[in-house]
Structure 1
Amino acid sequence: MDGEGGTVQKNLERAVSQKALQMSNSASCKAAVVGFLAGVCITYLFLAAVTSVGIQKLGAGELKIPMGETEGRFRNQTILPVHTDREFESVKTVKEVKNDPRIAFLYSAWEELLNSIGQKQIKSREPRFNMIPKAPHLEDCKARTKIFHQLDMMGPPWPRWQGRLITGLSDETLSPTVAETVGSVPLIMTEAANPPWVVGADEDNYPLTRKVQQDLWVHQHPQNCNDPQTRFLVADWEREAGFGIGAQIAGMTGFLAIAIKEKRVLVTNYFNRADHQGCLNGSSRSQWSCYFFPETSPQCRERALQLMKTEDAWKNGTLTTNGNYTSKEIWAGTIPRVWGSPWEDSQPTTEIDGRLLKNHRKMDRRWWRAQAVRYLMRFKSEYTCELLNVERHDAFGMQAAQMVVNVLPEHWPQAEYSGRATPMELDEYVWSNRMPWVPRPLLSMHVRMGDKACEMKLASFDTYMQLADRIRKRFPNLKDVWLSTEMQAVIDNSTRYAGWRFYYTKNVARQVGNTSMADYEASLGRETSTNYPIVNFLMATEADFFVGALGSTWCYLIDGMRSTGGKVIAGYISVNKDRFW
């Protein structure tokens, strides 16, 4: 739990509740989010230059980018890299971009593909967009979500194939045209646990990660939800004032532990952070499924909500809810032991004060919360995927455009682009499974300050950067930092560090002084204060190196996702010298 109480409480229940409340303050690091580049005005000038040299000559195939008319979801928030005194060869200077307006043109074209109006235009004018190369940093969210849905519905045993190789080339889904060419391709199932959301080798994850993830899926997806023997735990997400999103997630891992121990199916219910205009798609309003795949099947959810209306289900114990459990059981209850004690075999890859953390009294809880969070976030929703696209485009889109332009014909877009409208099968079924491009190696750094001082000794930003410099001595090609923080002073100080390139969310208010996290989030509004942290959390988990404060719940959860996401060996360096949780 996140912090020790200042005095010994008379009642253990009150003590645990106080720790839970403190925990929430560390949760929403999240000063970071999504939006489109405010440099659109400069881009407009570039487009004018491009137009003057012949873009208008495209005739019937003309591509018009209505700059200034885009209606992206986060038009007024921008993520931009902050370049320190030294520029790097991998990114063109402003002068170089001006001399090659194709970069700005391509960036703008990709931007238009991201907004809803552009999506509709593409459907009716598909051939005219063939001149636009594929964006390496963006995902096809609709296609990717469809694959996730098919994999989640498939259930174990999952094949060893990946992504579209399973859903597009297996003998169960093979199209007649492809069948004539390559014949039937049987899927070879494996008895070993192989959940498709776990990446990396077994030794790159916490012990038993694959087995635990598969067992959690099986537990949460019984064959017959209407069986009288199937019992449920319906849990609302914590929503008291002061509970940050990190504390809410940590609390739900406690309910999942209870559900496993009591052989109940966990059904998450009202999620206040999804109660906003962005989550209006079907039944996702006010639900976890707005951001991630639901924790159980629609059939089990429907059955559980029906039972909530029947008095017998409450009396005979078929159904329980939040009120059936104490704060101690939720926040400090025992960890499920059905898998033994795998945490005892965990590789020590977390460093505190220059020493590896080899053993501690909360190893079981750390291992379990990592497993629970990985399961709850196993697949992103289409909405979350789109938010991530916007984030990556605003942060890395100009660099991606430069890379692509460097391999295009010199006179593109006047000259014909030779890209195929219909991709080859290697593109479609194999390379499509790759993660979107980001500059690598990438360092994730979450700097926690503000009201966290009531729970732990705060470290200066310079302390964080000293640890970053330590990593760079071992990996000298490291220069990119994904920086998330709620403090404006940290952003201001980042410009002092030459040789580093920082990415963070701009045009979002940050804390000055010790404003409480609850007040800070309230000032941002519900949609922004939820989307920003979730997107930045996911971006952080995809980094190659990690620096943070494990006294913060948010950093603790990032570390858990690292440890179940194939990045155990990447390590985690904490600024805390006296605590890990």
Structure 2
Amino acid sequence: MEAMNQKSLERVVSQRALQMGSSFPCQICVVGFLCGVCLATLFLAALTSFGSFDFNGISFSMGASSASSPWNSSSDAINMVKSTDCKLKLKETERWFNSQRSTMETDNERVSLLHLVWGALLTESVHEEREFLLKFGLNRSSVPNAPHLENCKLSAYINMRLDTRAENESFPPWTNRKGLLDMYPASTAKEQLGSPRHRPISEGVYPPWITGSDEENYPLTRKVQRDIWVHQHPPNCWDPNVRFLVADWERLPGFGIGAQIAGMCGLLAIAINEKRVLVTNYYNRADHDGCKGSSRSSWSCYFLPETSQECRDRAFELMDNKEALEKGIITTKDNYSSKQIWAGRAPRVWGDPWSYLQPTTEINGTLIAYHRKMDRRWWRAQAVRYLMRFLTEYTCGLLNVARHAAFGKEAAKMVLTGLPREWPNVEVANNSRSDIEDFVWSSHRPWIPRPMLSMHVRMGDKACEMKVVEFEKYMLLADRIRKHFPHLNSIWLSTEMQEVVDKSKLYPHWNFYYTNVTRQVGNMTMAIYEASLGRETSTNYPLVNFLMATDSDFFIGALGSTWCFLIDGMRNTGGKVMSGYLSVNKDRFW
């Protein structure tokens, strides 16, 4: 009986041991133990074989005699040779590391130099540019093109050309050709006589400031933009049937740039409904030394004017005509109530295209398919797109400075990978331009790190108008976007609060970019904050942020903010509808 019990016990123990031996943790332990034994054996064998080794100038020796181990049958001469080889290899490694460090330092110096040179080329002074290049022993031909900077003089020329009627034509040269291609010399008689290149706008060619397909923009965007331009540019401004609405930009204390633009969108709606040409007048935010000549105190400092110079001249002439005012040939902002301007009826010329907006805005995890102010959202998007359709040379320059400060060194690293290591001591090969660069690639937008997420964090005194959300919630939404687009790691951060910029440093897995401007510390009204910056800075840097947001691939903001509302409108008429919009709150009027 005892023998049977003993055998049963042995079987149980054997089965238990087998189960334990076949378990994964046990297998890991066994493999680890065997690997440790092997490594220890090899290590001891190496030490006893080489006799001594050297690490960073410190020598270690084994004291075992030749009789104590069969591994020590080699002569002392062989041990000395092996010890010397080891020392030489370590010295070679040290030299390699020093060489790499020297190379990195040289590369950083080249990046800094190219960044400085590009920055010097942003100056408008030819003399200053020449002095800077001479200081570093460079000439213009040895400086590679900066991919993140735009040729503002060329862009301003193209924009003005596309906003002005061609000679003996009813419309500007809006063709199927983009950029400067319509200026490329015609190659055949057929092209010279009746090509699609000169097909009139009435046959289906639309304004060039709309990008993306129709599905990537709000409904009817191309047609609406064309019709607004035609409405605002009558062929003959002195025709007695042409009527005008002349309006200053809002300048009541507490009105931000967003409110001013929203008010002008309302006045443009009134002008279209009453078949008047809108003419904007005094713009207080452009009343600074940065805006030169006739563009001072005018919207045209930043964007091309809303109508032609001929119509502006005619409207201001009629302002001095009492009879024209009495007969309603010309009206001013004082002719309309605040309700008409701020909550007036959106033009119905195009039906009700807002009724079939695509639901691409998400709030609290839900797409917004309908709300009470869809007509206002659609119209403001069209109006702000028209008012900002073309940048001036001044605004283009502001964007160049901002991009250079934010992305300039990254661009320099990228460009230097394609240059000889001897640069700047050698000329840049093939720096001359070809037709494809001048006529085709000239229409490409300046380089920025893509994909780019723009984030506008509005806090401060905005709490009296909307629900203010902490920065952490914005970042949760950013992480949601990156889960679907894992290659996204760049954020253009727009905010008036220094606290937000400081918190961004807690997210090292994101690359944050922002304008270099003094921000609010603590809580103060926006009016006081803007006054502390001065008129020029308090106007320029928000507009730069606005335009960077419209060009970014994704956007996170607060629809309760008029500024975010307008950014959303620009994006939805700029080919970004399908990028979506994650908002931390809803508009207070929905």
Per the shorter chain, which TM-score range?
Answer: 0.7 to 0.9
Code of the residue aligned with 2:114 in structure 1: it is: L
Q: 1:406 to 1:485 in 2, by over 3 A?
A: same
SS at match of 2:523: coil
Structure 2: 5+ residue stretches without partners: 1-100, 166-170
Of 184, 200, 213, which aligns to 1:169? Answer: 184
> Is residue 501 from structure 1 mapped to residue 511 from structure 2 by the alignment?
yes
Preserved CA contact (<8 Å) 2:161 2:172: no
Of 89, 103, 116, which aligns to 2:111? Answer: 103
> Is residue 296 from structure 1 mapped to residue 307 from structure 2 by the alignment?
yes
> CA RMSD of the aligned region, Å?
2.4
Task: Give, in whole Å, the separation in 1 of the partners of 2:102 and 2:489.
Answer: 19
Q: 1:498 to 1:158 in 2, by over 3 A?
A: same
Counterpart residue number, 1:384? 395
Decide which structure has greater helix share: 2
Task: Give, in whole Å, the separation in 1 of the partners of 2:337 and 2:104.
Answer: 62
Q: 1:578 to 1:113 in 2, by over 3 A?
A: closer
Of 524, 528, 531, which aligns to 1:519? Answer: 528
Of 158, 175, 179, which aligns to 1:159? Answer: 175
Task: Give, in whole Å, the separation in 1 of the partners of 2:112 and 2:132.
Answer: 25
Counterpart residue number, 1:244? 256
> Is residue 558 from structure 1 mapped to residue 567 from structure 2 by the alignment?
yes
Code of the residue aligned with 1:319 in structure 2: it is: I
Code of the residue aligned with 2:268 in structure 1: it is: L
Preserved CA contact (<8 Å) 1:207 1:343: yes
Counterpart residue number, 2:476? 466
Of 443, 446, 458, which aligns to 1:436? Answer: 446
Counterpart residue number, 1:25? none
Code of the residue aligned with 2:121 in structure 1: it is: L
Task: Give, in whole Å, the separation in 1 of the partners of 2:374 and 2:267.
Answer: 19
Of 326, 329, 335, which aligns to 1:315? Answer: 326
Task: Give, in whole Å, the separation in 1 of the partners of 2:222 and 2:175.
Answer: 13
Shift of 1:376: 0.2
Counterpart residue number, 1:231? 243
| Range with greater deviation from structure 2 (348-357 or 100-109) | 100-109
Q: How many residue pairs align between the two structures?
A: 478
Shift of 1:156: 5.5
Preserved CA contact (<8 Å) 2:520 2:529: yes
> Is residue 567 from structure 1 mapped to residue 576 from structure 2 by the alignment?
yes
Preserved CA contact (<8 Å) 1:130 1:419: no
> Is residue 274 from structure 1 mapped to residue 286 from structure 2 by the alignment?
yes
Preserved CA contact (<8 Å) 1:232 1:304: yes
Counterpart residue number, 2:85? none
TM-score (norm: length of structure 1): 0.79
Q: 1:179 to 1:274 in 2, by over 3 A?
A: farther
Task: Give, in whole Å, the separation in 2 of the partners of 1:557 and 1:549.
Answer: 11
Q: 1:169 to 1:97 in 2, by over 3 A?
A: farther
Preserved CA contact (<8 Å) 1:266 1:295: yes
Task: Give, in whole Å, the separation in 1 of the partners of 2:105 and 2:307.
Answer: 49
| Range with greater deviation from structure 2 (475-484 or 512-521) | 512-521
SS at match of 1:159: coil
Counterpart residue number, 1:326? 337
Deviations along 1:148-205, one digit per CA (max 9) or x if unpaired, are 1111113357211111112x2154xxxxxx899x989942426124110000111110
Task: Give, in whole Å, the separation in 1 of the partners of 2:224 and 2:332.
Answer: 24
Task: Give, in whole Å, the separation in 2 of the partners of 1:459 and 1:465.
Answer: 11
Preserved CA contact (<8 Å) 1:193 1:211: no
Task: Give, in whole Å, the separation in 1 of the partners of 2:173 and 2:416.
Answer: 43
Of 364, 371, 382, which aligns to 2:375? Answer: 364
Counterpart residue number, 2:120? 112
Counterpart residue number, 1:547? 556
SS at match of 1:483: strand
Preserved CA contact (<8 Å) 1:194 1:210: yes
Task: Give, in whole Å, the separation in 2 of the partners of 1:393 and 1:225.
Answer: 42
Shift of 1:498: 2.4
Deviations along 1:492-518, one digit per CA (max 9) or x if unpaired, are 111001200101123x22112331111
Deviations along 1:339-370, one digit per CA (max 9) or x if unpaired, are 00001111111000101110111000000000
Counterpart residue number, 1:486? 496
Code of the residue aligned with 2:487 in structure 1: it is: N
Shift of 1:389: 0.5
Task: Give, in whole Å, the separation in 1 of the partners of 2:321 and 2:453.
Answer: 52
Task: Give, in whole Å, the separation in 2 of the partners of 1:97 and 1:297.
Answer: 55
Question: Could you say which structure has the larger radius of gyration?
Answer: 2
Shift of 1:415: 2.1
Code of the residue aligned with 2:231 in structure 1: it is: H
Q: 1:95 to 1:503 in 2, by over 3 A?
A: farther
Task: Give, in whole Å, the separation in 2 of the partners of 1:573 and 1:310.
Answer: 50
Deviations along 1:457-510, one digit per CA (max 9) or x if unpaired, are 11110000000000000000111000010111111111001200101123x221
> Is residue 203 from structure 1 mapped to residue 211 from structure 2 by the alignment?
no
Code of the residue aligned with 1:501 in structure 2: it is: N
Task: Give, in whole Å, the separation in 1 of the partners of 2:142 and 2:430.
Answer: 7
Counterpart residue number, 1:535? 544
Task: Give, in whole Å, the separation in 1 of the partners of 2:116 and 2:578.
Answer: 38
Code of the residue aligned with 1:381 in structure 2: it is: T
Preserved CA contact (<8 Å) 1:137 1:437: yes
Task: Give, in whole Å, the separation in 1 of the partners of 2:580 and 2:130.
Answer: 43
Task: Give, in whole Å, the separation in 2 of the partners of 1:573 and 1:451.
Answer: 22
Task: Give, in whole Å, the separation in 1 of the partners of 2:150 and 2:109.
Answer: 25
Find runs of 4+ consecutive structure 1 residues off by over 6 angstroms: 123-127, 182-185
Counterpart residue number, 1:259? 271
Q: 1:495 to 1:121 in 2, by over 3 A?
A: closer
Task: Give, in whole Å, the separation in 2 of the partners of 1:573 and 1:458.
Answer: 15
Shift of 1:578: 7.7
Task: Give, in whole Å, the separation in 2 of the partners of 1:567 and 1:179.
Answer: 38
Preserved CA contact (<8 Å) 2:173 2:198: no
TM-score (norm: length of structure 2): 0.78
Preserved CA contact (<8 Å) 1:97 1:104: no
Task: Give, in whole Å, the separation in 1 of the partners of 2:127 and 2:489.
Answer: 35
| Range with greater deviation from structure 2 (426-435 or 152-161) | 152-161
Shift of 1:420: 2.6
Deviations along 1:3-33, one digit per CA (max 9) or x if unpaired, are xxxxxxxxxxxxxxxxxxxxxxxxxxxxxxx
Task: Give, in whole Å, the separation in 2 of the partners of 1:396 and 1:119.
Answer: 26
SS at match of 1:107: helix
Task: Give, in whole Å, the separation in 2 of the partners of 1:417 and 1:253.
Answer: 49
Structure 1: 5+ residue stretches without partners: 1-92, 172-177
SS at match of 1:116: coil
Preserved CA contact (<8 Å) 2:217 2:575: yes
Deviations along 1:42-83, one digit per CA (max 9) or x if unpaired, are xxxxxxxxxxxxxxxxxxxxxxxxxxxxxxxxxxxxxxxxxx
Task: Give, in whole Å, the separation in 2 of the partners of 1:157 and 1:179.
Answer: 19
Code of the residue aligned with 2:426 in structure 1: it is: A
Deviations along 1:290-339, one digit per CA (max 9) or x if unpaired, are 00000000000000000000111101100100110000000011110000
User: Which is bigger in relative contact order (C-alpha 8 A, separation at least 6)?
Assistant: 1
Task: Give, in whole Å, the separation in 1 of the partners of 2:540 and 2:554.
Answer: 23
